[in-house]
Structure 1
Amino acid sequence: MPTLLLYIFVAVIVIQLFYFLYFFRRFAYHKTSPKQEFSYPVSVIFFIKNQAGLLKKHLPLYLAQDYPDFEIVLINYDSYDESLDIIEGFEARDKRIKIVNVKNNEAFWGKKKYALTLGIKAASHEHLIFTEIECQPVSDNWIRELSSGFSEVRTIVIGYTAYEKIKKSFLNALVRFENLTTFSQRFSYQICNIPISGNGKNLAYHKKEFFRNNGFIDHINIRNGEDQLFINQAADKKNTSFVYSKESFTISEAVKLFDEWIDNKKAEYALIKKYKTTHKALIHIFYLSQLLLYTLIIPLLILKVNTPVVIGLFLLRWIVAYGIYIPITKKFGETSLLWLFPLYEIFLIFFQFLIFISNIISKPNNWR
């Protein structure tokens, strides 16, 4: 049995090194290509539901974008606070605002997807950008930077969303670490011509892609996933690009409650089962190898099975991992996460396992 555990541990190390050196290294040392000179007219689309305060705070930042031709489509989904009054006030002052007012339909399950579909149809332009009003662009060149990913061939653009930093908050650091690893893996797979997913807080695609894939119809029975599942369905190695220049970021409000973060992750991770088979395999094999890395090393050290070899392989994996994540954290402006990197990884793997078990026992609330 100890020898078998050692063999499994060696296999796990090999898998981990393969992922880091074959996949993640590509994004870590990726160099950006020259930007496109096109200035496509774009429609920036927001889904609004009782977000009056955020509209007052963030909408002016989007209206101040330095871009020659854009409109903002505000989909008001049956808000009962002051949201509609606020966006109507903006519309009266700025002709770039377009309002799509959607009434709640209790008989229709895919409510957000239905509302987004109406917004997409109402958009004046073919190039669409999606974000959320809880997010703010980091610069007034956000539209310019994100839309630079478009070309005659590239009709889907995946951007990066950071989370605001809260000092002396372990939860905040863990949330940012999980976000960083998710995007670094997503972009690494994209470089290898395996686009897997996107995030609706910073995402763009051509209207023709939406209708070519029949919109959200294939996953309309799932409450969310309008970003993850749609991109997993529509993206391929030819039509997808990604942008990670500092001015292309959006910053999202940070989750402040642990239970809220767990609920969000349960819903998000549950969507993976709807991914394409090869994509699910890539994600699950890497996570399983991470889990086995930490669960095997303890009994191997206790049983003193080739301890120098076990420790040496474990340190090798960590040296390689640090070598990959140092340039990635610089790209995303998250170098402060490096100090406790091993601790964040251990906690994240543990909570991902709990979420996996929880999703088996009971479906998350994103399912019908």
Structure 2
Amino acid sequence: MGLFLLWFLFGFGIIIQVVYLLVIFGRTAFFKTPKTKPNSGEEEPVTVMVAAHNEFKNLKTLIPKLFEQDYSKYDVMIINDRSTDRTKRLIEEMMAIYPRLRSVTIKYTPDHVTAKKYALTLGIKVAKNDVILLTDADCIPASDQWIRKMTQPIREKNKTFSIGYSGYEQAKGFLNKWIQFETLQTALYYVSFGLWKSPFMGVGRNLCYRRSFFMEVKAFKDLWHIEGGDDDLFVNKYATGKNSSLVLDPEANTWSKPKENWKEYRIQKKRHLHAGKYYRGEDKRKIGFYTISHALFWIGSLGLLIYFGIERNWEHFLLVFGIILVRSLLLLGIFSSASKKINGSKIPANILINDFLYLGYFWILGSVSHQAKNIQWK
């Protein structure tokens, strides 16, 4: 009975894994960028918006980069959210250099709302333009075409949401290699399903929507009490296959500074994973089917290898090992191709090791985050 159960777990797991890798993630891996003709009409104005809390150092780098964009009509709005460092003075100095730089200062946050949602709401309310392009203070656009390409679906295709990718800068060390893998894994979920016209999340480091829509749905109504989720939960609630578009172009990406120690990373991911509990049921299943099959595959395969090793049944041992090897090669191929399509770079290092470690990461940290109550932005 025990052997049958192991074979069942292993077989069910590998079937679902292959479906996800080839059919769903393959949508990203085999994606072909459609040829688009440049719009000869007048460019619609855009407001780039950044909510910042004590981000003096990052804003000093970001603001000049934002004004290097190859786009004729845009302004930049920095929301100074209760900063106690030199953020306010920096913004004033930068406004003298860049006339299209604007600012809103948040002095306090009401008790019944969460900080970043409140800051973004006030900033969006006073924005001059209807097209809002969001990013974070620690992000840098990948190219001077960022504004043009991220806003194109909204300006030219009448979409409500334009969902982009934001990666993390590469650095030395195992933590950074893990961050690169986990970021790519997450992107494969929302990019692939987005390309299947079934979007369920986006990242606030690279997200675009219309101000008029934001005001129409009354901002973050029903989401105020949740810390985080100003990006993925907002997209999860309102994005559809008809009103949304995925922008899969390395020139439309942004790059963020990664966490440099495990404590900061754990706090960040705890916030991200906590928001997932509020996804729609069907969207939870999109992630759940893969993670469950991933767990069943590894539990079943390791159990069978141990059993056949003890029994010295080398024929079946090699069969199981061969299936693991084939699945590993498939994983490498899909992730490698997807990485090039998403961010224009090669596959993250240690991907097979990290794929195995993902088993503990999702089920342990995910469970802790699901039950957490002390979630904060900054």
TM-score exceeds 0.5 = yes
Deviation of 1:94 after TM superposition, in Å, equals: 2.4
Instruction: Kindly indicate whether the alpha-carbon contact (under 8 Å) linking 1:36 and 1:149 is maintained by their aligned counterparts in 2.
Output: no
Out of 285, 288, 295, the position equivalent to 2:289 is: 285
Q: Which residue does the alignment assign to 2:346?
A: 335
Which one of the candidate residues 121, 133, 155 is aligned to 2:160?
Answer: 155
Supply the AA of the counterpart residue of 1:10.
G
Residue 366 of structure 2 aligns to a residue whose secondary structure is helix
- 1:53 counterpart SS class: helix
Instruction: Confirm or deny: 8 A CA contact 2:162 2:208 kept in the other structure.
Output: yes
- Please give the alpha-carbon distance, in whole angstroms, between the structure 1 residues aligned to 2:109 and 2:196: 42
C-alpha distance in 2, partners of 1:360/1:194?
A: 24
Task: Provide the rounded CA distance (Å) in 2 between the counterparts of 1:361 and 1:279.
Answer: 19
Note the 1:97-246 alignment, pairs <5 A.
Answer: 97-150=101-154, 151-167=156-172, 169-246=173-250
Give the TM-score normalised by structure 1.
0.94
1:345 and 2:349 are equivalent in the alignment: no
**Aligned-residue offset at 1:310:** 2.2
Residue identity in the other structure for 1:99? S
C-alpha change, 1:98 and 1:36, in structure 2 (3 Å) is: farther
User: 2:268 — aligned with what?
Assistant: 264
Alignment of 1:50-129 (within 5 A): 50-129=54-133
What fraction of aligned residue pairs are identical, expressed as a percent? 31
Q: Which moved more, 1:55-64 or 1:351-360?
A: 351-360
- Please state how far the C-alpha of 1:233 moved relative to its aligned partner: 0.7
Kindly state the Cα deviation for residue 316 of structure 1 after the two structures are TM-superposed. 2.8
Q: Tell me what 2:364 maps to.
A: 354
1:211-258 deviation per Cα after TM superposition (whole angstroms, max 9, x unaligned): 233211211001211001001011000011111222111110111001
Deviation of 1:340 (Å): 2.1
CA distance in 1, matches of 2:21, 2:99: 49
Measured after TM superposition, the shift of residue 34 of structure 1 is 2.8
The residue type paired with residue 34 of structure 1 is K
Deviations 1:146-166 (CA, angstroms, capped at 9, x unpaired): 122323432211111111111
Aligned 8 A contact 1:270 1:364 in 2: no
Count of aligned pairs: 365
**Cα deviations across residues 110-155 of structure 1 (Å, max 9, x unaligned)?**
2221111111111111111000111111222211121223234322
Separation (CA, whole Å) in 1 of partners of 2:137 and 2:339 = 26
- Structure 1 CA distance, aligned partners of 2:361 and 2:278? 21
CA shift at 1:360, angstroms?
5.2
CA distance in 2, matches of 1:269, 1:145: 29
User: Following TM superposition, by how much is the alpha carbon of 1:78 offset from its aligned partner in structure 2, in angstroms?
Assistant: 1.9
8 Å contact from structure 1 (residues 44, 70) kept in 2: yes
What is the root-mean-square deviation of aligned Cα atoms in Å?
1.8
Secondary structure of the corresponding residue to residue 19 of structure 2: helix
**Alpha-carbon shift at residue 71 of structure 1 (Å):** 0.6
Change (3 A) 1:362 1:53: closer
Give the secondary-structure state (helix, strand or coil) at the position aligned to 1:75. strand
Give, in whole Å, the separation in 2 of the partners of 1:289 and 1:212. Answer: 40
What is the CA-CA distance between 1:109 and the residue it aligns to? 2.9
Counterpart amino acid of residue 65 in structure 2 = L
Give, in angstroms, the shift of residue 364 of structure 1: 4.8
SS of equivalent residue, structure 1 residue 335 = coil
Q: Return the alpha-carbon distance in structure 1 between the equivalents of residues 374 and 292 of structure 2.
A: 21
**Equivalent residue in structure 1 for 2:253, among 240, 249, 271:** 249
Aligned to 2:330: 320
**Residues 1:33 and 2:24 aligned together:** no
Distance 1:294 1:25, change over 3 A: same
Give the residue type in structure 1 aligned to 2:22. L
Structure 2 unmatched ranges of 5 or more: none
Q: Distance in 2 between matches of 1:137 and 1:229?
A: 23
Number of the residue aligned with 1:9: 10
Give the TM-score normalised by structure 2: 0.91
